[in-house]
Structure 1
Amino acid sequence: MKKAMKKLMVAGVLCMAGAAFLAGCGSDSSSGGKQFLNIATGGTAGTYYPLGGALAEILNQNIKGMNASAQSTGASVANVNMLKDGSVDIAFIQNDIAYYAANGKEMFKDNKVDSLRGLAALYPETIQFVTTQDKGIKTIADLKGKKVAVGASGSGAEANARQILEAYGITYNDIDVQYLSFGEAVDALKDGNVDAGVVVAGFPTAAVQDLAANKSAAIVDIDPKISDQLMQKYPYYTKMVIPKGTYPGQTEDVNTVAVKCVIVGTTKLSDEMGGEIVKALYTHLDRMKAAHAVGKYITKDTALEGMSIQMNAGAEKYLKSN
């Protein structure tokens, strides 16, 4: 009788251990074998949010057992912190912010995040130095002595503004710095309270279109030679041309630079799942195009361009396949 009881106890322990193992794999009966995936995006009025919703839909329809959902967040910097604490599984982030986090620079100085892994680079987020025609600003060099809205303090846009100004030999001591978000910057331009503002977004940007409809807006050209120097120092920048006619009254192409929107996970995301996510995404790009105008820039051919951090091995393998 004692031997029988002992056998039953051993069997019970083994059964519990097996159940615990299955639960750790996300395969317990309470979840119905589903894979839950939280996707961090940005504000509801931005670009990340509709794209995140479209991505969740693609994953739910094309990966067995997937239960993905997109949530509105404070965008890139907030998303890195959410990835770090495990409250989200993948996120939309600017490639420069991902670079800062992975290398412990800028707003992540002394707070390096080693666990980030890239899944795909999506589309360019163009850096636009916006002014109005009446200010007489033709080049970045003309910003000396001017009131410039450089972005919210500690934001990616502010770091972009500082780096580009630095490439022209301009420091914050040479300008009247205004720490304003791009929406606030455009309002200040309308009111004549600043001379220029920095907007980082896919173009045409609604806030700039609105400014152009109310005043004669202008985008300041960045010299391609300066762009080359910038790209040598900061590997996340790419060259970009804003074609003439993008905004009302824009009669010439404008040279500038861009960072890229990237999808990022962490080391917690398996290589297998990373591969499945990018395969589902790049075989259903029509849904991303329907979600937002920038969807037309999302292609498998450019999915590794501007990736500023180590890749998820499964995603990289798929993206490098024919």
Structure 2
Amino acid sequence: MKKSKYYLFMVMLLAVSMILAACGGEDSEEGGGEGESEPDILGLATGGTGGTYYPLGGTFANMIKDETGIDTDAVTSNASAENMAMINNNEVEIAFVQTDIASYAVEGTQMFDAPIEKIRGLATLYPETIQIVTTADSGIESVEDLAGKTVSVGESGSGTRLNAEQILEIHEMSFEDMDIQNLSFDDSTTGIQDGSIDAAFITGGTPTGAVEGLAAQVDVVIVPIEQEKAQELMEAYSFYSEDEVPEGTYSLTSAVPTVAVQAMLAISADLSDDLVYDITKGIFENTDQITHPKGEFITVDTALDGIGIEVHPGAQRYFDEQGVEAE
């Protein structure tokens, strides 16, 4: 009898243990998202080798590894839109992205069929200048002159492509007015040089490597976006700001007016607050290691300007300690 009671007790104890374990598993799975993960390797999605994300990504990867002790790989990609998908698919944890594309990803609008819920902001970095690149021999001097020409508008799904569409819209034009090509920055400048295309939209920090390479071979022209049209664009899309390609860039003899969005770093909500704090600290306390010209814009004081999406709590903790507030 005692033995039967003992067995019954053990069976009941085992059943209770299994129930508790199941409940614990459910809680773990449910809460295993935001703020818990600390992977052995971090992936940092950049862009094509001819843009600004790629060289900066290598520098950031080194700074993050030095601060956290975690190996960090900077990987090439088709930039903004693809980078958001890569975070969503757990292919990378950190990614460069335009602020407008990050907002579209969170909202599930434009090129995104549904909201990407795991994206958080880490920091804004520098202006991403929209450059309409051509040559002196093309005869293209205005946006309207692009009509009837062969023009690269950026890779499919890229932020550049959407920028091109919106700029043309303000000029009462569309992709149907030209023969469009969806090319990377490197392929765009190669196409301009060999004459297979006439012009290209390139959104990136200036100077952009691919355009510098082109300027070494031919006389580069940056097509202006005049102030009146820039104002219309900013009224229609609040994430744009006025900008210019400075005199001397690409051997330009004078500054060229245009517009810009902001480059930012997005990060997975899955990463622990402590890890993201260390990543943020590693970047902003080592900006002296950034040799790219855009490094002068990357400061903690402006790191929340125009970020537009929810900031990861780990990054927010660092900015709170520095007394930095969003504007």
Q: Is 176-185 or 297-306 further displaced after alignment? A: 176-185
**Is the contact between residue 150 and residue 198 of structure 1 (CA under 8 Å) also seen in structure 2?**
yes
Which of 82, 87, 105 is the aligned partner of 1:83?
Answer: 87
Residue identity matched to 1:61: D
Q: 1:273 aligns with which of 272, 275, 287?
A: 275
AA partner of residue 181 (structure 1):
S
Once the two structures are superposed, residues 31-86 of structure 1 have per-residue CA deviations (whole angstroms, 9 ceiling, x without a partner) of xx9753333333455433443333333333334x6454433444322221121122
Q: 2:245 matched to which residue of 1?
A: 242
Aligned Cα root-mean-square deviation (Å): 3.4
Q: CA deviation at 1:131?
A: 1.4
TM-score normalised by structure 2 residue count: 0.80
User: Match for 1:218: what amino acid?
Assistant: V
Counterpart of 1:201 in structure 2 is: 204
Per-residue CA deviations over 1:79-108 (Å, capped at 9, x if unaligned) read 211211223222222222212211222221
Seen in structure 2, the aligned counterparts of structure 1 residues 215 and 312 have a Cα distance that, compared at 3 Å, is same
CA distance in 1 between partners of 2:77 and 2:143 (Å)? 32
Q: 161-170 or 92-101: which moved more?
A: 92-101
- Structure 1 gap ranges (5+): 27-32
Q: Provide closer, same or farther for how the CA distance between residues 87 and 241 of structure 1 changes in structure 2, counting only shifts above 3 A.
A: same
Any conservation in 1 of the 2:51–2:208 contact (CA below 8 Å)? no
User: So what's the TM-score if we normalise by structure 1?
Assistant: 0.81
Report the CA distance between 1:122 and its aligned residue: 1.2
Residue aligning to 2:64 = 59
Question: Which of 174, 179, 183 is 2:182 aligned to?
Answer: 179
- Note the C-alpha offset of 1:158: 1.2
For residues 229 and 39 of structure 2, the distance between their equivalents in structure 1, rounded to whole angstroms, comes to 47
Q: What aligned pairs does 1:297-316 form with structure 2 within 5 A after superposition? A: 297-316=297-316
Matched, 1:39 2:41: no
Match of 2:155 in 1: 152
How many residues in Structure 1 have an aligned counterpart in Structure 2? Answer: 310
CA contact (8 A) 1:236 1:307 kept: no
Gaps of 5+ in 2: none
CA distance in 1, matches of 2:309, 2:194: 40
Paired position in structure 2 for 1:94: 98
Which residues in structure 2 correspond to 1:245-256 (within 5 Å)? 245-248=248-251, 250-256=252-258
Match of 1:285 among 280, 284, 287: 287
Q: Is the 8 A contact 2:51 2:209 kept in 1?
A: no
Deviation at 1:205, TM superposition (A): 2.0
Is residue 127–residue 201 contact of structure 1 (8 Å, CA) maintained in 2? yes
More divergent stretch after superposition (220-229 vs 272-281): 272-281
Identity %: 42
Which of 164, 167, 186 is the equivalent residue of 1:164? 167
SS of residue paired to 2:216: helix
Taking the aligned partners of 2:165 and 2:90, their CA distance within structure 1 comes to 31
Bigger CA drift: 119-128 or 99-108?
Answer: 99-108
* Secondary structure of 1:106's aligned partner: coil
The residue number in structure 2 matching 1:296 is 296
Q: Do the aligned partners of residues 247 and 67 (structure 1) sit closer, same or farther apart at CA in structure 2, a change above 3 Å counting?
A: closer
Alignment counterpart, residue 260 of structure 1, candidates 259, 262, 270: 262
Contact 1:83 1:89 in 2 (8 A): yes
Q: One-letter code of the match for 1:308?
A: G
Which letter maps to 1:166?
A: E
- TM-superposed CA distance for 1:160, in Å, is 0.9
SS at match of 1:193: coil
In structure 2, distance between residues paired with 1:111 and 1:153? 18
One-letter amino acid matched to 1:133: A
* 1:138 matches 2:141: yes
Counterparts of 1:204 and 1:141, CA distance in 2: 25
Deviation at 1:245, TM superposition (A): 1.0
Give 1:129 shift: 0.3
Deviating more after overlay: 217-226 vs 142-151 = 142-151
Partner of 1:118, secondary structure, is strand
CA distance in 2 between counterparts of 1:305 and 1:195 reads: 36
| Shift in Å, 1:187 | 2.2
TM superposition shift of 1:236 = 2.7
